């Protein structure tokens, strides 16, 4: 046997030993190549102790990755480089993904804990019959305001933001649907309105708000409001809950005209490899005690009606984050507007942003 052949045999043997060792280690921990689950979720959107609990109870290894926008999530799944077993898109994106054939139908017989979800949050327009998605968290878009900085004034309406006394005091989310929606709601129109005349009217009204707009910002809106860099902000309810915990002078309101009711939902992408494990994880997250723990950690509102029994009363009785059925009826889920209409929303929003500079 010449030296070159001997060298390659040694390399092959060493590789085989290494692979056997890795396989043995994985097996000793209860994991194997087919015993994993790859989850794609928003950042800081789950209590990691629950992942460990799921792994311990099932022997399934969880690989957890995060994204920062629905669009980034969609692109990654369309590319198919990573075969995610579970993703957590928002409602309008689910509508888009199911129409693009990117989701697998759920087997609801494997989700016995689905019975704990509040019926108000099932069978909605973006996924009739919940064929592809299960509610994870929900919330609203509203106004955070600093009562001390406003000398005790309460805000109750979108139109309150046009008060001249709020000059250079308002921070807005950098989101076309949220800001255009605010303009539409203030005129009594739907968040999903696609009539050109109504959209132009909303944009023109928003232009008159510019003296009051201090900045249009991203995630830093939470820090700026908590640090009293501005007295008013357009925010998502979960962010409101977080910043209110840091500054007791802050309050949150869903305007009386109505607003957005949004959902993030668990789905199984079409490229999933571990469908059985995905159903086990979804059912695990639907357990009332698990949902309660996760809700207290994340700070958003749970759609799990039974979970409310395991949560502090001061949370579940807070109508700012768990609105009454009467107000909930005035809230709208974002529809998938289609490329043409969404492009027009974005164009008008960009014009408004330029107007605020």
Alpha-helical runs (H) found in the chain: 3-28, 48-58, 70-79, 91-99, 176-186, 196-207, 221-226, 237-244, 275-285, 288-298, 313-316, 325-328, 338-356
Render 285-332 in DSSP notation, one character per residue. HTSHHHHHHHHHHH-SB--BTGGGGGS-HHHHT-TTTS--HHHHTT-B
What is the pLDDT, as a whole number, of residue 71? 86
Instruction: Answer for the pair 300, 135: CB distance below 8 angstroms, yes or no.
Output: no
C-alpha to C-alpha distances, 173 to 20, 96, 106, 143, nearest whole angstrom: 52, 23, 34, 11
The pTM score is 0.79
What is the pLDDT, as a whole number, of residue 23? 42
Same CATH topology for 2-138+264-316 and 139-261+323-355: the answer is yes
What is the pLDDT, as a whole number, of residue 68? 85
Q: pLDDT tens digit string along 135-186? A: 999 999 999 999 999 999 999 999 999 999 999 999 999 989 999 999 999 9
Q: How many residues does the chain have?
A: 357
| Residue (of 118, 154, 164) closest to 302 by Cα position | 118
| Residue 154 DSSP symbol | P
Q: Which residue bears the tokens 């406003």?
A: 150
Distance CA 253, CA 245 (A): 15
What is the pLDDT, as a whole number, of residue 210? 97
Query: 75 in the Ramachandran plot: left (φ > 0), alpha (ψ -120 to 50) or beta?
Result: alpha
| Residue 171 DSSP symbol | E
CA dihedral sign, ordered 232, 236, 242, 248: positive
Domain range 2-138+264-316, CATH architecture: 3-Layer(aba) Sandwich (3.40)
Give me the average pLDDT of each 10-residue run along the chain (357 residues).
49 50 39 77 94 98 93 92 94 94 98 96 94 97 97 96 97 93 97 97 98 94 96 93 92 95 96 96 98 94 97 93 86 90 94 89
| H helices, E strands: number in the chain | 13, 9
| Residue (of 181, 175, 185, 252) closest to 216 by Cα position | 175
Which listed CATH number (2.40.50.140, 3.30.70.20, 3.30.450.20, 3.40.190.10) goes with 139-261+323-355?
3.40.190.10
What is the pLDDT, as a whole number, of residue 3? 47
Distance CA 269, CA 273 (A): 9
- Segments making up each domain of the chain, as ranges: 2-138+264-316, 139-261+323-355
């Amino acid at each position: 046997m010449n030296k070159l052949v001997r060298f390659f045999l040694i390399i092959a043997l060493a590789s085989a030993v290494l692979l056997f060792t890795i396989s043995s280690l994985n097996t000793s921990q209860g994991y194997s190549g087919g015993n994993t689950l790859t989850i794609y979720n928003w950042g800081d959107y789950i209590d990691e102790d629950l992942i460990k609990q799921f792994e311990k109870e099932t022997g399934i290894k969880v690989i957890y990755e995060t994204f920062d926008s629905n669009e980034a999530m969609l692109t990654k799944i369309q590319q198919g480089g990573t075969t995610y077993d579970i993703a957590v898109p928002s409602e309008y994106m689910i509508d888009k993904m199911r129409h693009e054939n990117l989701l697998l139908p759920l087997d609801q017989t494997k989700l016995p804990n689905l019975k704990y979800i509040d019926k108000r949050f099932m069978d909605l327009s973006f996924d009739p019959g919940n064929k592809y998605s299960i509610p994870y968290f929900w919330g609203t878009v509203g106004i955070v305001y600093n009562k001390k900085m406003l000398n005790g004034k309460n805000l109750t309406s979108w139109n309150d933001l046009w008060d001249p006394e709020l000059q250079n005091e308002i921070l807005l989310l950098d989101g076309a649907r949220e800001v255009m929606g605010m303009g539409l709601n203030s005129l009594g129109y739907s968040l999903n309105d696609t009539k050109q005349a109504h959209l132009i009217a909303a944009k023109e009204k928003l232009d008159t708000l510019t003296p009051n707009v201090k900045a249009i910002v991203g995630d830093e809106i939470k820090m700026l409001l908590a640090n009293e860099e501005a007295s008013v902000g357009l925010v998502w309810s979960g962010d409101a809950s977080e910043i209110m915990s840091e500054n007791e002078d802050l309050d949150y309101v869903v305007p009386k005209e109505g607003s957005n009711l949004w959902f993030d939902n668990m789905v199984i992408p079409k490229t999933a490899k571990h469908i059985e494990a995905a159903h086990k994880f979804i059912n695990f997250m639907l357990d009332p005690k698990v949902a309660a723990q996760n809700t207290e950690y994340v700070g958003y509102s749970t759609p799990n009606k039974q979970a409310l029994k395991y949560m502090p009363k001061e949370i579940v009785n807070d109508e700012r984050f768990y609105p009454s059925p009467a107000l909930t009826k005035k809230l709208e889920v974002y529809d998938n507007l289609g490329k043409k209409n969404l492009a027009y929303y974005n164009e008008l929003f960009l014009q408004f942003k330029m107007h605020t500079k």
